Amino acid sequence: MLELCKLLDINVNELLSAKKIIKESYNEQAEENLLEMRREIESQNKKILTLNRIITFLGVVIYVLILLAVIFIEIPMVIRNIIIALALVMLLLFGVFNLNIIRKTGYYECQECKHQYIPTFNQMFFGMSGITKGGIWQIKCPNCNKKCWHKKVLTKINEK
């Protein structure tokens, strides 16, 4: 057997377990696939968040334009009030919709225990958003029960 190994320039282990070699390359491929998946999820989620920011900005601009229009255009008071009320309801629904998109894109990581999960809408709504470090919320973690900062992570697949 040793002679054969020497002849083939491989070790006994490799001779005995042709499967092992196949398995190793299989693992490498699986790892590569996982990284590829991670990159795809990350870039997809980044696109969703960017689009959401643009939509939020446009929504606020439209809202301000509606308010300016009803202030400066001469219309009966009743109609003016109805338009303002409708615009407020629209803005509220719009905010809920946007917050839900932010909530469901990727995960939030507890900075205390590193637990990664998707918070409920209420947790997000009553949490504080950090403006300086985008995507940071103060939520009570369901894993360690501490109210602490949560960081947005785009994917659960970890980098090696």
From 24-32, 35-43, 54-62, 138-146, span contacting Zn ion (CB under 5 A): 138-146
H or E, element range at 133:
none
CB 98 within 8 A of CB 58: no
Q: Which of positions 141-160 make contact with Zn ion (CB under 5 A)?
A: 141, 143-144
Question: What values do phi and psi take at 150, rounded to 5?
Answer: -120, 135
C-alpha distances out from residue 74 to 25, 41, 65, 80, Å? 74, 50, 15, 9
By CB under 5 A, tell whether 21 contacts Zn ion: no
Distance CA(5)–CA(143), nearest Å, equals: 54
Question: Considering the complex, what minimum distance in angstroms separates the CB of residue 36 from Zn ion?
Answer: 30
From 25-33, 52-60, 76-84, 110-118, span contacting Zn ion (CB under 5 A): 110-118
By CB under 5 A, tell whether 110 contacts Zn ion: yes
**Is the Cβ of residue 124 or residue 141 nearer to Zn ion in the bound state?**
141
From 38-46, 73-81, 98-106, 134-142, span contacting Zn ion (CB under 5 A): 134-142
H or E, element range at 144:
none
- The one-letter amino acid code at 80 reads R
Q: Could you list the residues that contact Zn ion (CB under 5 A)?
A: 110, 112-113, 115, 141, 143-144
